[in-house]
Structure 1
Amino acid sequence: MNKKILAFLILVWTTNQTVSQPDPASGGAPGSLGETLYTDAKIAAASGDQDRTQVRLDLAKAEELLWKNNLLLLAAKYDIDARKAGIEQAGLYANPNIFLDQSIYVEPSGRYFDSTRSGQTVFQIQQVFLLGGKIDKRVRVAELNAKMGEQEFYDLARALLTKLRRTFYFIHYYREAIAFYDKSLIALEKTVNSAELAYKRRAVLQSEVLRLKALLFFLRKEREDLRIKVLEKEADLRVLLNEESYKNQGIAIVPVLDLDFVEKAPIENLKLDAMLSKAREYRPDLKKAVHALRYEEANLELQHANAIPDLGIGPMYNRGGTAFQSYWGITAQFNIPIFDRNQGNIKAAEKNVQVRKQELKNLILEVENEVNVALATAKAKDNLYRKFRNTYTKDYSDLAEDMILSYEKRYISILEFADFFETYRSSIVEMLRLQTDRMEAIEGVNYSVGTGLIVPSPKTNGESGATEGGSK
């Protein structure tokens, strides 16, 4: 495969110089890398996107649509409302019990359901009073459960925002890589056509023509693999945004990046201690773990309260069933905690408190290491990018014209020429991948901290920078 790529690069660039003649109207110099040989329409036709409508989308608009339309976030909001309804339910008092006893048949009078003075009627109302502060403790447990639901929502939002931004950067840079392949493929197709004409004139061997066609197939397959990945990411983006105007498969989503932010992202200014402090403050999963511990502690208090029996008390009226014709009394009901003192639930709650403590300690360790790795990865990617962004590919681009002229005049061999352009192609593609990895690493920093530590600022004066906030 590498040999085929090498041969392809040789023929692409030699075709631009020896087979393709420059358009005098364009004013371009022969062999110039900056020369526009093909129109955008031709490139679109080669890329397979000529029938798709391109819609530009900036990151701020995408995040706004995510918060507004994402179905998972909407479902999480309903879950929070459901848990808050549990708070209302926990604070309600028990309903009163009504007891009615009416005689069916009275033998002396021979009447059925006799409700007069000759019959018997018993009527009783009883209200259960929860002792031991059960209601307040139930409300506390329900409140902590609702807070856990809120942190689950923010943790989900954190994951979805990170996925959105990474998908955004992936589509942008892979589209640039596809554009690089598109221009090369158009040149190769022109080379194949020229080689076929040369073969008819017996100027080249048939084996060279067949090898060119094979190269065209493999290069197009390599390009299509990238295009499929972009289509998959576009599908992910459509699911994340859930926007009606983007659901049509005939729409190609074109991300618009804040290039000033991309170039000046202040990664080198990040300090590990400050990041750890912000992670403890903002990480929703860490907050959820804290609330989970408090929830179990509140549940332990509730289980101790449940060991206290509740009191049922209320008035009673009995007509014709006692020594008095009309009897008024009061009833009381109280369970004696001899066998069941809720000891099993209390022990389980105590163990659950220990479980949550250990889980919290483990999560703190995970967060610290995650932040450390995210920072180290981001700095490594950023340093590599900044080291080569202005010299690495630029030097190859400046040297390309001289290499073409040298090959035309036979100053260099075909192997030297092929080696140079293979390195040049790899450099362009790898630089685009490095840019993608770098932006993903930046999002890894934001994700590990739990807030938008490095995100584009709102455009107020044309400048961009970093903002912070739990909603980012």
Structure 2
Amino acid sequence: MCSKFIKILLCIVAGLLLSQSGAFAQVPGNDTLKITIQQAEEQFLKSNLQLIAQHYNIGIADAQVITAKLFPNPDFNISTGLYNPGTHKFFDQSSGQDEYAGGISQLFTTAGKRNKNIQLAKLGVTQAKYQFFDLLRTLKASLRNDFLTIYFQQQSVKVYDLEIRSLQQMLKAYKEQNAKGNVAEKDVLGIQSQLYSLQAELAGLVVSIDGSISQLQLLIRAKPGTYIEPEYNYDMDGKDILSTVPYQKLLDSAYSNRYDLRQAKLAIDYNDMNLKYQKALAMPDFNLSLGYDKRGSYIINYNSLGIEFNLPFFNRNQGGIKQAELTIDQGKVQLQGQQDQVENDISVNYLIASRYEKLSNSFDPQFKGDFTHLIQEVLKNYRTRNIGLIEFLYFYDSYKVNAVQLNNIHLNRVTALEQLNYVTGTPFFNQ
């Protein structure tokens, strides 16, 4: 009786584990989005609101150039008598009593202030562009990491899903046989303990996937509640990916293509121009004016030409000049720090990627192996009573651990390469 039960149970387990269409555990939802990494990037470029908002800053900076190019508007004034005490009239315009005056003036800037201000505004446009492309680099790296994390963690979920479903079937059958006295209670408890442990691990993994999916949804503006299933083909086994790009090329590319580094260099140019502008502000501007007064001067129909400017005895913009000089020195220090950061980022991430590549390539490709064959052998030995339930569950757990670890190694390898793409500002290792 017991032998027949075991054979039936083993057939059930084998059927579940050898099936290629297991019920993949996922978040409840009506929509599932299957998407490649290239499609995700295209959707991101078209729809990401953070990126679109940042792009407006370029237009805003362009508008500031237009403003800088504009000349000051001329000032115009006109006046007339309000009350004539001799005639006791308001706005008296009678013959011989009418009085009015007017004038026009224009501000002229000196020391090239206008041109220097235009140059500052143009540098501001370039800064806005660099900020946009640096944000693009950062968000794109986040998108690719989220995409890859979801993919490999979902592969691990499949492993848990198959094992949990098989153990649920086993537990149900063992409980029925325990009630009939054919199976010991310790076997039931052993299966139950293993099942609860797997379910707890799966719950933690699914929560992690949900977090990554939520971030990816925002990046590509997928509808809330959409479950994302990345489509990805991992084909790095046995390949020396890092050897295809020399280390010096990585470093040179970072110096050329890292927009945060370009921005740090541009900040020095901006500060240099700002110093020139601050020195120009020490030079006084002047107003040139033309005026006319009908009766209010020493002669009738008085015409005047005037010039006005301040005398720079006290305020020669000493504080602005000193601040600009210190900002230049600060910018040089920040640039050096940024360069050191770039070199350190590449060194550290290259080492990490190299280690994961060596680790991944050290595995025998057949080790990933044929789970079908493994389970067949385990079932065969369990059927012939060469192994007991404890050994049988051990093989289950061993397979789960190795499969999940292998997925994590693959994930760590591809994300390390993606991090090298990020720190170099160049998609050397895009898959």
TM-score by structure 2 length? 0.91
The answer as to 2:152 corresponding to 1:170 is no
8 Å CA contact retained: 1:265, 1:454: no
The answer as to 2:278 corresponding to 1:299 is no
* Aligned-residue offset at 1:236: 0.9
- Alignment partner, residue 183 of structure 2: 204
Match of 2:9 among 20, 28, 33: 20
Match of 2:210 among 228, 231, 235: 231
* Aligned-residue offset at 1:150: 1.1
Q: Which whole-Å CA distance do the structure 1 matches of 2:117 and 2:29 have between them? A: 61
- Alignment partner, residue 464 of structure 1: none
8 Å CA contact retained: 1:371, 1:445: yes
* Aligned-residue offset at 1:268: 2.3
The amino acid that maps onto 1:367 is V
The answer as to 2:89 corresponding to 1:111 is yes
* Aligned-residue offset at 1:22: 4.0
Structure 2 stretches lacking a partner, 5+ long:
none
- Alignment partner, residue 468 of structure 1: none
More deviation in 420-429 or 272-281? Answer: 420-429
Residue 183 to residue 122, structure 1, CA distance change in 2 (3 Å): same
Q: Which whole-Å CA distance do the structure 2 matches of 1:368 and 1:117 have between them? A: 85
Q: Secondary structure at the match of 1:454?
A: coil
Structure 1 stretches lacking a partner, 5+ long:
1-13, 24-29, 457-472
- Alignment partner, residue 43 of structure 1: 23
The answer as to 2:198 corresponding to 1:219 is yes
8 Å CA contact retained: 2:154, 2:209: yes
* Aligned-residue offset at 1:114: 2.9
Q: Which whole-Å CA distance do the structure 1 matches of 2:245 and 2:359 have between them? A: 17
The answer as to 2:35 corresponding to 1:57 is yes
* Aligned-residue offset at 1:424: 2.7
Q: Secondary structure at the match of 1:236?
A: helix
8 Å CA contact retained: 1:152, 1:288: yes
Residue 315 to residue 261, structure 1, CA distance change in 2 (3 Å): farther
Give a deviation string over 1:406-426, Cα, whole Å, max 9, x none: 454455676666555443321
* Aligned-residue offset at 1:395: 7.9
8 Å CA contact retained: 1:16, 1:31: no
- Alignment partner, residue 140 of structure 1: 119
Residue 409 to residue 21, structure 1, CA distance change in 2 (3 Å): closer
Residue 261 to residue 317, structure 1, CA distance change in 2 (3 Å): farther
- Alignment partner, residue 85 of structure 1: 63
- Structure 1 vs Structure 2 CA RMSD: 2.7
Q: Secondary structure at the match of 1:43?
A: coil
More deviation in 198-207 or 159-168? Answer: 198-207
Aligned pair count reads 428
- Alignment partner, residue 411 of structure 2: 436
8 Å CA contact retained: 1:137, 1:301: yes
- Alignment partner, residue 48 of structure 2: 70
Q: Which whole-Å CA distance do the structure 1 matches of 2:339 and 2:146 have between them? A: 28
1:394-433 to structure 2, matched below 5 A, reads 394=369, 401-411=376-386, 420-433=395-408
Q: Secondary structure at the match of 2:23?
A: helix
Q: Secondary structure at the match of 1:255?
A: strand
Q: Percent identity of the aligned residues?
A: 25
* Aligned-residue offset at 1:119: 3.2
The answer as to 2:323 corresponding to 1:348 is yes
More deviation in 318-327 or 207-216? Answer: 207-216
* Aligned-residue offset at 1:332: 0.7
- Alignment partner, residue 98 of structure 1: 76
8 Å CA contact retained: 1:15, 1:191: no
